[in-house]
Amino acid sequence: MGIFLRLTRIPLSSSGILSQCPHHNTLSPAVIRHILAGAPTRKNHSGRGPDHPVISAAPLRKPFSKVTKEDLSFFRNLLPGRTITDPDLIRSSNIDWLRTVHGNSEILLRPKTTEEVSEILRHCNKRNLAVCPQGGNTGLVGGSVPVFDEIILSTSLMNQVITFDNISGILTCQAGCVLEKLSHFLEERDFIMPLDLGAKGSCQIGGNVSTNAGGLRLLRYGSLRGTVLGLEVVLADGRVLNCLATLRKDNTGYDLKQLFIGAEGTLGVITAVSILCPHKPKSLNVAFLGCSSFQHLLETFQCCRGMLGEILSAFEFLDASCMKLLEKHLKLSNPITESPFYIVLETAGSNAAHDEEKLHKFLEAVMTSSLVIDGTALWSLRERVTEALTHDGYTYKYDISLPVEKIYDLVQDMRRHLGDKAKNVVGYGHVGDGNLHLNITSPSKDPRLLAAIEPYVYEWTSQWKGSISAEHGLGLKKRNYIHYSKHSEVVALMGNIKALLDPKGILNPYKTLPDNMHR
Ligand SMILES: Cc1cc2nc3c(=O)[nH]c(=O)nc-3n(C[C@H](O)[C@H](O)[C@H](O)COP(=O)(O)OP(=O)(O)OC[C@H]3O[C@@H](n4cnc5c(N)ncnc54)[C@H](O)[C@@H]3O)c2cc1C
């Protein structure tokens, strides 16, 4: 086994990738209906409450009002030049990043202020008009685009930093700030955002909070549920809920902001966020390593936690099938010996000499024990797997969390289960968080393949007490499978909260909650 040891200290602002849209067929709601069909009543093996029928049909349009001339003149008056009705300009906002979900909205609103969002929602609520909040439109579960003719409320022009305190590291900004722009803003001030993801060039902080995005730094800095200190939210009836605290400690009653983190735009529109940002690490190292089995990869992770401790900031993996797709579709070359599994490991610390010494010792240990075959430095291979997959055909995407020792069993089992029905079955993800991205490609959309994957994948996950959506949310595509991860009492309470905050159900209808929960 060859042993190569090359460490690279990398600049913090590695460039964001947001690929061009893949060339897939876009599906109309009718086709989505077809795709979603075929998931019969299933037993829930999680032991989480009674069995639930999986409602398989795509949603039917709810009896919302249609936009009238009077509505249009109200919006034009409120948002002159920012009420978009030109179909060519709206097209891209009606289609999701994966190009698998296609809405038919005829109106796109682009407010700049909280007051404007409030006026819009007050009017829509009064008129019973449905609204789809949209950030960077990089969501992967069909939550960010309308299903029918919902009004698209884009936060793209709400892109101002409000304050930054360089003693506490607390940033307060409008919801439409693009993640990468915030990262650059902070790096100039010696801080970083506590989250980073492959979509950073387009996704917005409001969208990140609404999906409770995980990403590449969660292992080190934790989830947004901990780093978000405050939110400003406009409720369905236009009331502005000011929870925009900048305090690290505040135990005065219920922590209402948590309701909106991960709510996917179904409970309110987030208009501003305050977030605790860590200091920019002085030294950053990345290592790309090869392993001969998933068991070795897990042992490397254990060893890494022990030896790198506080400087470990990311531990990601991809399998050999992902590497082949990166080589084939993006012409990226594998910098190390071909291996069944690859690890991307990052350290972030304050003392370069100390960090490098620790990393060297760790690499020496894993290489001499043959846990790791080979290594060099490279982040882009891990960051661009999502993009490479979009060039491989129609992709069925699953974002699963499981006990870490089980995560790759699902990929292997799925390969056996699907046989030659699938073009590729690949696994990658965040080992440190027990989060697998299972992706199955096919030359084109294939209802027969889908019927073989679902609900099998959800039953498998539920059996191991995993989550059917670790970080992408439920959106349109997974809403009816919530019972595989949540007890029925919990889902019922979610429905009550939705009814309390949005009694007419105008905010992002058909998303997140199962169909029988929407009004
Ligand atoms: C290449 C690539 C890599 C990715 N990597 C990761 C990853 O590592 N980890 C991860 O978690 N996700 C990842 N994603 C998924 C996606 O980027 C995240 O879900 C992201 O947080 C979405 O942000 P957005 O601004 O694009 O939101 P959108 O896609 O526009 O919206 C997502 C959801 O949030 C709602 N929403 C948006 N803005 C608001 C608001 N202001 N108020 C209320 N609701 C709102 C929308 O209605 C929708 O339901 C990746 C996506 C791509 C394309």
Instruction: Give the pLDDT confidence score for residue 432 in this predicted structure.
Output: 85
Residue nearest to atom 46 of ligand 1 (CA): 144
User: Does the beta carbon of 264 sit less than 6 angstroms from any atom of ligand 1?
Assistant: yes
- Domain residue ranges of the chain, discontinuous segments joined by +: 161-276, 282-385
For residue 13, give every residue at least 6 positions away whose Cβ sits within 8 Å of its Cβ, in sequence order, or none: 183, 184, 187
Closest CA relative to residue 83, chosen from 153, 135, 131, 159: 153
Is the distance from CB of 227 to CB of 274 less than 8 angstroms?
no
Instruction: Give the pLDDT confidence score for residue 364 in this predicted structure.
Output: 85
- Residue 514 CA to residue 60 CA, distance in Å, equals 13
User: Does the beta carbon of 137 sit less than 6 angstroms from any atom of ligand 1?
Assistant: yes
128-131 long-range contacts, Cβ below 8 Å, gap at least 24?
128/64, 128/65, 128/504, 128/506, 129/64, 129/65, 129/67, 129/71, 129/506, 130/62, 130/64, 130/505, 130/506, 130/507, 130/509, 131/269, 131/506, 131/507, 131/508
Q: For the domain with range 161-276, which CATH number is right: 3.60.15.10, 3.40.50.300, 3.10.129.10, 3.30.465.10?
A: 3.30.465.10
- Residue 98 CA to residue 92 CA, distance in Å, equals 12
Residue nearest to atom 27 of ligand 1 (CA): 207
Q: How far is the CA of 374 from the centre of ligand 1 (A)?
A: 34
Instruction: Give the pLDDT confidence score for residue 68 in this predicted structure.
Output: 98
User: Does the beta carbon of 215 sit less than 6 angstroms from any atom of ligand 1?
Assistant: yes
- Residue 212 CA to residue 174 CA, distance in Å, equals 17
Q: Please identify which residue in the block is written with the tokens 């490098």.
A: 356
- Residue 446 CA to residue 416 CA, distance in Å, equals 18
Closest CA relative to residue 355, chosen from 282, 416, 425, 424: 282
Instruction: Give the pLDDT confidence score for residue 425 in this predicted structure.
Output: 97
Residues paired with 338 in a beta bridge: none
Q: What is the pLDDT along the chain (519 residues), one digit of tens a residue?
A: 222 223 333 333 332 222 223 333 333 333 333 333 333 333 343 434 334 444 445 799 999 999 999 999 999 999 999 999 999 999 999 999 999 999 999 999 999 999 999 999 999 999 999 999 999 999 999 999 999 999 999 999 999 999 999 999 999 999 999 999 999 999 999 999 999 998 999 999 999 999 999 988 899 999 999 999 999 999 999 999 999 989 988 899 999 999 999 999 999 999 999 999 999 999 888 888 999 999 999 999 999 999 999 999 999 999 999 999 999 999 988 888 899 999 999 999 989 889 888 988 888 888 877 666 655 556 666 778 888 999 999 999 999 999 999 999 999 999 999 999 999 999 999 998 899 999 999 999 999 999 999 999 999 999 999 999 999 999 999 999 999 999 999 999 999 999 999 999 999 999 999 998 754
Ligand 1 atom with least separation from CA of 430: 8
Q: How far is the CA of 58 from the centre of ligand 1 (A)?
A: 22
User: Does the beta carbon of 230 sit less than 6 angstroms from any atom of ligand 1?
Assistant: no
The distance from CA 146 to its chain's CA centroid, rounded to whole angstroms, is: 18
Instruction: Give the pLDDT confidence score for residue 376 in this predicted structure.
Output: 58
Phi, psi of 247 (to 5 degrees): -105, 145
Instruction: Give the pLDDT confidence score for residue 360 in this predicted structure.
Output: 87
Instruction: Give the pLDDT confidence score for residue 378 in this predicted structure.
Output: 63
> What is the value of pTM for the model shown?
0.87
Q: Domain 282-385 adopts which CATH fold?
A: Alpha-Beta Plaits (3.30.70)
Cα-Cα end-to-end distance for the chain: 61
**Of 160, 211, 399, 474, best ligand 1 pocket probe by most atoms within 8 Å of the beta carbon:** 211
Q: How far is the CA of 16 from the centre of ligand 1 (A)?
A: 15
Residue nearest to atom 15 of ligand 1 (CA): 139
Phi, psi of 21 (to 5 degrees): -65, 140
User: Does the beta carbon of 198 sit less than 6 angstroms from any atom of ligand 1?
Assistant: yes
User: Does the beta carbon of 344 sit less than 6 angstroms from any atom of ligand 1?
Assistant: no
Ligand 1 atom with least separation from CA of 271: 41
Encoded tokens for 32? 């989505």
**Of 121, 177, 197, best ligand 1 pocket probe by most atoms within 8 Å of the beta carbon:** 197
Q: How far is the CA of 140 from the centre of ligand 1 (A)?
A: 7
User: Does the beta carbon of 97 sit less than 6 angstroms from any atom of ligand 1?
Assistant: yes
- Residue 297 CA to residue 432 CA, distance in Å, equals 11
